[in-house]
Structure 1
Amino acid sequence: MSSPPCVMFGQVVIGPPGSGKTTYCLGMQEFLTKLGRKVVVVNLDPANDGLPYQCSVDIAELVTLDDVMDGLKLGPNGGLIYCMEYLEANFDWLEKKLEQFKGCYFLFDCPGQVELYTHQNSVKNIFAQLTKWNFRLTAVHLVDSHYCADPAKFISVLCTSLSTMLHVELPHVNVLSKMDLMEQFGKLAFNLDYYTEVLDLSYLLEHLASDPFFKKFKRLNEKLVELIEDYSLVSFVPLNVQDKESMVQVMKVVDKANGYCFGDLEERSMEAMMSAAVGAEFHFASTLAVQDKYLESNTKTVEEEVMDL
């Protein structure tokens, strides 16, 4: 009787350029290694050179963006799409590379082109193939936290996150990265939990209406907000990759999403199991702790904003 196939857990780290994907992979690799996990980092970004982390599988061995742009005379966006399609056509190469690391925990560092996760199907098909190979993956979608300081950009980020969640079709965790730099680009209009839990977005519309440029797009913004709230899927986990408590919070949410915390790869106490399964109360308390640590206490609650209006 043949043994059941080995289940492998991991994260596919996605997000726009500059959101901190490679830094996240480095930090999470070091963090999980100290916890005793055998971590393998897979670079799936053909434009990513000079990797700071220990890379076990590198797409550069198969194809690089520079070679594609030079050989096919494509721009960076078209080149990235070609590279992902080329990887999709060479699944046997990827499978051969990955099968050397059975029983390990995987971090997939993915390209930063947004269209790959909202419109184009190659990356989606690659993730689907990994699932067929018995990978249990969570999509960790990094978003730069400073977008919260601009209502228009935050609504845009929400739309992109929602589109990515629906297109990628994996358990999904949205992360606000670079929390320690959040207020360098402006102060928040509300407390941090308003943005992480994506509360009543109508209050953001009031801020947009005060801007002469966005005032004429009021109806469009209302419809975008309605779309986001109708799906009711988007929320965020705050992250500072240099803060241990912040990394623990993200790890627990990811482990719950892909089922790692319920597996048998390492001994887990009942206390750890319970802490990983905590819902909104855990997120709320953690968000308040992040706000106290990184943000000035001059933001308003939604109730205070209503009183001002």
Structure 2
Amino acid sequence: MGSKYGTIVMGPAGAGKTTFCSALIRHLRNNKRSCFYVNLDPAAEEFVYEPDLDIRDLISLEDVMEELHLGPNGGLIYCFEFLLENMDFLTEPLDDVTEEYLIIIDMPGQIELYTHVPIIPSLVKTLGRGSLNISMCAAYLLESTFIVDRAKFFAGTLSAMSAMLMMELPHVNILSKMDLVKGQVARKELKKFIEPDISLLQDAPESGLVYEYKDGVDNEDPRNADNVMSGDSFAKLNRAVGNLIDEFSLVSFLKLDAEDEDSIGTVLSYIDDATQFHEAQEPREPGDDLLMDADADADMG
């Protein structure tokens, strides 16, 4: 049996994961390509395209929080533990998905699920084994507005790297919502964020990331939060994070504007390369597209 192909869409809350999934589905449909949309966010509320498979039909975060008196994070972990105990809910529908499809899995925004606990890695390994044999690529979204706050950007980059190491999947990192920073960052400067450059920590003294010796500062009480966040300890911490990211050289970003078809197409091409989608596809004969359109019209009739 041939492999199936999928992408698992991750990232912090507000990064635009569901918007990206919707844009990806739209792009695939416009290019006459099949997709199977899976929602694994038990707290999701609205979708542009209704999921083909929705975890909320099995369990919802609202019900878990109400019945078990758990908070949002504990409730999410419970939901995924419950899913792992009832994997037939996920695996049986995916068994019928053929290799022509791209399986799109929309995930929650709690990054602890990808960086701290082994639940999602266990789920991904299950999907990659046996009859499913899904060749998976992780798409990790980070909101482009993070580049305005460089400490926040490097923290987000570190979380992306942590997810890469934890998930053990081919990985595509994406700076989403690029339309929000259009005209705010010079192209030359933007390149330093696309390929995270530790020199960013030295380029903006006003950010508080660069430590400069000032008489009397080092003698102030280190227990004072203001001193810690503006002094040598804070600067050293940020440099250590920057060096860690630089030494691993794992993280780089693609730019994404969900309203731009070319931008979506570029990201999709990287996902296809990571999953080796095109290598397994049958070559099409001239006129195949016309036959597909005729079949679709017949079905609608």
TM-score (norm 2): 0.82
Superposition pairs of residues 44-83 of structure 1, within 5 angstroms: 44-83=40-79
Report the CA distance between 1:263 and its aligned residue: 2.1
Cα contact 2:211–2:235 (8 A) shared by 1: no
Report the CA distance between 1:150 and its aligned residue: 1.2
Larger mean Cα displacement after TM superposition, 89-98 or 172-181: 89-98
In structure 2, the partner of 1:252 is: 269
Distance change in 2, residues 1:268/1:135 (3 Å): farther
In structure 2, the partner of 1:92 is: 88
Residue type at the aligned position of 1:191: E
Report the CA distance between 1:188 and its aligned residue: 6.3
Partner of 1:108, secondary structure, is strand
Q: Does 1:105 align with 2:102?
A: yes
Q: Does 1:193 align with 2:188?
A: no
Task: Supply the distance in 1 between the matched residues of 2:285 and 2:148 (Cα, whole angstroms).
Answer: 39
Report the CA distance between 1:210 and its aligned residue: 6.6
In structure 2, the partner of 1:283 is: none
Report the CA distance between 1:267 and its aligned residue: 4.0
| TM-superposition CA deviations, 1:113-168 (whole Å, max 9, x none) | 01000011111111111111210111000110000111111111111111111001
| TM-superposition CA deviations, 1:168-207 (whole Å, max 9, x none) | 11100000000001259x65695211111223x1342342
Q: Does 1:21 align with 2:26?
A: no
Cα contact 1:205–1:218 (8 A) shared by 2: no
In structure 2, the partner of 1:292 is: none
Q: Does 1:40 align with 2:36?
A: yes
Task: Supply the distance in 2 between the matched residues of 1:127 and 1:202 (Cα, whole angstroms).
Answer: 36
Cα contact 2:150–2:200 (8 A) shared by 1: no
Q: CA RMSD in A?
A: 2.1
Residue type at the aligned position of 1:53: Y
Partner of 2:13, secondary structure, is coil
Task: Supply the distance in 2 between the matched residues of 1:119 and 1:268 (Cα, whole angstroms).
Answer: 48
In structure 2, the partner of 1:163 is: 162
Q: Does 1:174 align with 2:173?
A: yes
Cα contact 1:57–1:98 (8 A) shared by 2: no
Residue in structure 2 matching 1:225, options 232, 239, 242: 242
In structure 1, the partner of 2:3 is: 7
Report the CA distance between 1:51 and its aligned residue: 2.1
Cα contact 1:205–1:221 (8 A) shared by 2: no
Partner of 2:77, secondary structure, is helix
Cα contact 2:175–2:254 (8 A) shared by 1: yes
Task: Supply the distance in 1 between the matched residues of 2:124 and 2:267 (Cα, whole angstroms).
Answer: 21
In structure 1, the partner of 2:210 is: 209
Larger mean Cα displacement after TM superposition, 259-268 or 161-170: 259-268
TM-score (norm 1): 0.80
Structure 1, unaligned runs of 5 or more? 270-309
Distance change in 2, residues 1:265/1:82 (3 Å): farther
Report the CA distance between 1:254 and its aligned residue: 1.0
Task: Supply the distance in 1 between the matched residues of 2:271 and 2:182 (Cα, whole angstroms).
Answer: 26
Cα contact 2:10–2:106 (8 A) shared by 1: yes
Task: Supply the distance in 2 between the matched residues of 1:138 and 1:248 (Cα, whole angstroms).
Answer: 16
Q: Does 1:131 align with 2:132?
A: no
Cα contact 2:172–2:270 (8 A) shared by 1: yes
Partner of 2:6, secondary structure, is strand
Task: Supply the distance in 2 between the matched residues of 1:72 and 1:205 (Cα, whole angstroms).
Answer: 48
Cα contact 2:64–2:70 (8 A) shared by 1: yes
In structure 2, the partner of 1:285 is: none
Cα contact 2:201–2:239 (8 A) shared by 1: no
Of structures 1 and 2, the larger Rg is shown by: 2
Task: Supply the distance in 1 between the matched residues of 2:133 and 2:32 (Cα, whole angstroms).
Answer: 22
Task: Supply the distance in 2 between the matched residues of 1:65 and 1:253 (Cα, whole angstroms).
Answer: 33
In structure 2, the partner of 1:278 is: none
